[in-house]
Amino acid sequence: MSQFLYSLTLVFVFLTSTNIQTTAATPSSYSQNHKMFVKTACNSTTYPDKCYKSLSTYSTAIKSDPIKLCTTALKLNVKSAKEATSVVAKLLKKSQKYAAGRKSRMVPETLILKDCLEEMEDTIVELKQAITEMKTLRAGDSIAEHITNVRTWVSSALTDEGTCTDGFEEVKVNKETKKTVTKVIQELATTTSNTLALITNLSY
């Protein structure tokens, strides 16, 4: 009898262990639903893969809340804008140093980078303003109006990003400088475009 109980105990331990491993390896249905919510929302954007890649990491916090989704997108957008602004600022500093060495204040590249930096700083301000406006959506009054305001701020940010790169098309500048700025701004613009799409499709 004792041998039988011992064998039965081993079987029970084995089955319990297997069940624990299976449970641990299987993601919760809630997590899957939250990621599906993000994926579905991102499918409505211009660059869905980029959208999902950046936001899926935050799906647990976003859950299935469209306001949290848009707010998270905006915060990530601000981060990207700051990174792009930093790149432009460094190039401007380098260009100013070069201009000083030539004792010239009218180097076209310096002026264009300066204008671009101002546009980027405006972009950050506008995106932050959009985040502030998003906080009012919970109030329950004039939700449509607030959403329109958020969309307007993000649209302005996207316009400023485009204005930044336009300057490099009008005047001949260093090829590497143009290439670097164009790359970071276009990358930022795809993020802003996705954010705008999410906000445009926001229903609450």
Share of the chain above pLDDT 90, in %: 62
Whether residue 118 is contained in a domain is answered as yes
Whether residue 6 is contained in a domain is answered as no
Q: Note the pLDDT of residue 15.
A: 40
Helix (H, G, I), strand (E, B) or coil at 154: helix
Whether residue 25 is contained in a domain is answered as no
Place of tokens 């406006």: 133
Greater pLDDT, 96 or 62: 62
- Domain carrying residue 96: 66-201
Q: What share of the chain is helix, strand, coil (3-state, %, to 5)?
A: 85, 0, 15
- In tens, the pLDDT along 43-56 reads 999 999 999 999 99
- In tens, the pLDDT along 131-148 reads 999 988 865 667 888 899
Token pair belonging to 170? 């009008």
Whether residue 157 is contained in a domain is answered as yes
This prediction has a pTM of: 0.81
Whether residue 49 is contained in a domain is answered as no
Q: Note the pLDDT of residue 105.
A: 54
- The C-alpha atoms of residue 61 and residue 45 are separated, in whole angstroms, by 21
Give the number of domains in the chain. 1
Q: Note the pLDDT of residue 188.
A: 98
Q: Note the pLDDT of residue 9.
A: 42
- State the amino acid at position 79 in one-letter form: K
Whether residue 20 is contained in a domain is answered as no
Instruction: Give the CATH number for residue 88.
Output: 1.20.120
- In tens, the pLDDT along 183-203 reads 999 999 999 999 999 999 986
